[in-house]
A and B are shown apart, each in its own frame.
Chain A
Amino acid sequence: MSAEKKRPDITVGKASAPAVSAPTGPALELGKGLDIGTANLISAVQDREGNLYIKAQRNAFIDIDQDDFTRNMLTKLGVQYVILNNRMVVVGDPAFELANIFNRETRRPMSHGMISPKEADALPIMKLLIDKLLGKPQVKDEVCYFSVPAEPIDFDMNVTYHEGLFRDLLSKLGYNAKPLVEGHAVVFAELADDDFTGIGISCGGGMFNVCVSYKTIPALSFSTSRGGDWVDQNVGKVLGIKASKATAIKEKGVDLRKPVNREQQAIEIYYRELIKYTLTNIKQRFEQGSDLPSFPEPVDIVFAGGTSLVGGFTDVVRQELAKLDFPIPIKNVRRAEDPLHSVAKGCLVAAMSES
């Protein structure tokens, strides 16, 4: 954390202790969920009428030259910015759009599911974004579950620092911050009808997170280090375009079952490779460990996360799964109803169950 961050904030009408929000808008249930993803930051809350409110920010930024006109213009256009070290940093979706217009790469606060060591500027910006997404806690120490990646099995990285950093950040915002591995959050959100038993996989931008759960208890959690970003980077390389551009092509809508041009063919090839790689790693991890539960009946695999949004995703999974001698009997392969918000919803379920 930078030196400025340690200075006490002095704000009119605000004491040094974190503030509690004034009751504005719908009355909310206690407990909040926060998905801290490589590609997106997503919060989830529920009001007392049972309506779910989701707020999302793309976890990316881009720095541009600052002047008064640009500053006014961005505010009027509803574009978020932060002035950092005399540079104007545009954050969220507009950063992504600007990067495509100027043919530049966005800067990414996170990489492979964790805070990026290359982006030291990122944390103060992320604090502002998270503050904006969550708002002030309704009561002191309101429970907020936030997603963290499980330990990677194919990449040498420790999640302890990442977890501690965001726990500290949320605590300073006034929350009782609790981590939840992403795959487990998917289980909470999507496997209620199966007694929270089965395999939840969060397909994120930086990595895939897997959780094998038996009646809510995570028997096995781990992650693999390839995600949607890996597809974008490789597609960008073979087509000679920026990864941000490849992301835009991908998000415009691709069906893996019938790619219609060279770009979509490249996306299909790398997506299939990503799925194959992930399933193979999962199979190997399952076969290696003695910690794999023996399920009495075949279980569901449910996929969530932005990377699973592409058309034909589950079809390709089924095709690749059929080629493997998978060690767990699978009843059904399906995608979450709301894949992008599934992890945040799972965190919310965990938070509300303790509130």
Chain B
Amino acid sequence: MDPGELQQVRQVIERSTSKVSLRELERKGFRKVKVLRSNDINELIRKAVHAAIGRANLDAQQHEQLVRESQQELRRLMKQAQKAATERAELLETNRALEAELERTRAALREAEAQIEQLPRLRAQLDEANVQRMALESRTASAEAKLGELTTLRTELEQVRAELKRVETEKRLLEELEVVKLRERIAQLEGELREARAAAPAAAAAGATGIDPATLRSLLKEVVSEVGAGRSDDGLRSEFSKLQQTLAAALANAGGRSGSQVTEADLEAAKVSIAKLFEHDADAELESNIAKVQVKESTSSGVKSTLNKLKSLRKGGSAE
């Protein structure tokens, strides 16, 4: 066998075999292996061919032809083996690719199955989230309504605060005013007290008798009752005037002076007393400031035109 053929045999062996690691073989249970070198195979083939030719008793020409045919056959077989080895290698490669694809598909399937197993839990979570969303929407609507009410209340509160502030300011001013007035009144009363104390010994010396205010009031009521019956308005006024003079004189006497010394102050005091007396009777149950407070009043165009139409219609014409 020439070196070219030997090389071809090597190539065929190379292509027809696969390399397996010793660890892999061990995992498959092969603990011992027999090793056959490619040179030994070549030698075995060569010896087998020559032995076969020798047994055939061929002449030189036949021998030559047989060698030539054998070489051709060998080449053909080597080509077939080479093609088969190539196809096998391709098939193995395809198989590996398919197995890898299969493994990927299985992994994806496992993942999908795991996800399917999670579906009920996810659905429950989704339902829970929906419930929470609806509750939140409801609370939001309620909160918005309350916010509206709160805004209204806040506005009203501001108004009330403003009003309160105004009232407090007025109250403070009025209190200050009242304090000033009360101080003045106290000073005035202290002056009157001093004057009355100074005048008291003189009154006692003149022998004047003091008039009990309750008795005076009672007397006045009786007089009013008498003069009021059957009197005209003017007559009543006249009687009141006389009564006022009498009361003034009585007040002057009570102060230790004679009736002829009736002063304007005495008359004013008498007026106040009479007014208070009747005011008490007239408004026993209904004290009111209504008379003092101005009522809301507005003006607008009158009803003259309407009135004329009405009168015209009543006379038999048309209001137009």
Contact = CB atoms under 8 A, between A and B. Distances in A.
Nearest to B271: A12
B290 A91 contact: yes
A196 interface: yes
A83 B288 CA distance: 6
Contact of B320 (A14, A54, A195): A195
Interface residues of chain A: helix, strand, loop or mixed (majority): mixed
Contact of A263 (B152, B287, B306): B152
Contact of B171 (A57, A73, A129, A196): A73
A294 interface: no
Chain B interface extent, by class:
35 or more
Interface string B86-111: 00000000000000000000000000
A345 B285 CA distance: 34
Interface string B231-245: 011001100100000
B282 A9 contact: yes
A71 B300 CA distance: 34
Contacts of A82: 286-288, 290
Chain A interface extent, by class:
35 or more
Contacts of B123: none
A75 B286 CA distance: 15
Contacts of B278: 10-12
B237 A4 contact: no
A54 B293 contact: no
Nearest to B301: A52
B302 interface: yes
B290 A128 contact: yes
Contacts of A55: 295-297
A133 B299 contact: no
Given A46-B302, A101-B160, A341-B300, A262 B145 contact: yes
Contact of A12 (B232, B274, B296, B297): B274
A101 to B, nearest CB: 6
Contacts of B309: 192-193, 196
A79 interface: yes
Contacts of B297: 53-55
Interface stretch (A109-117, A228-236, A346-354): A346-354
Residue from B145, B152, B282 having most chain A Cβ neighbours under 10 A: B282
Contacts of B233: 14-15, 17
Contacts of A238: none
Contact of A216 (B152, B292, B310): B310
A12 B275 contact: yes
Contact of A352 (B149, B296, B307): B307
A331 to B, nearest CB: 15
21 contacts: A10-B281, A11-B278, A13-B237, A55-B296, A56-B295, A73-B170, A77-B170, A79-B293, A80-B290, A81-B288, A81-B289, A82-B287, A83-B287, A85-B285, A129-B290, A132-B295, A195-B320, A196-B309, A196-B310, A348-B303, A353-B314
Given A46-B303, A83-B288, 10 more contacts: A4-B285, A10-B224, A17-B233, A46-B302, A53-B298, A55-B295, A57-B295, A195-B313, A195-B320, A352-B303
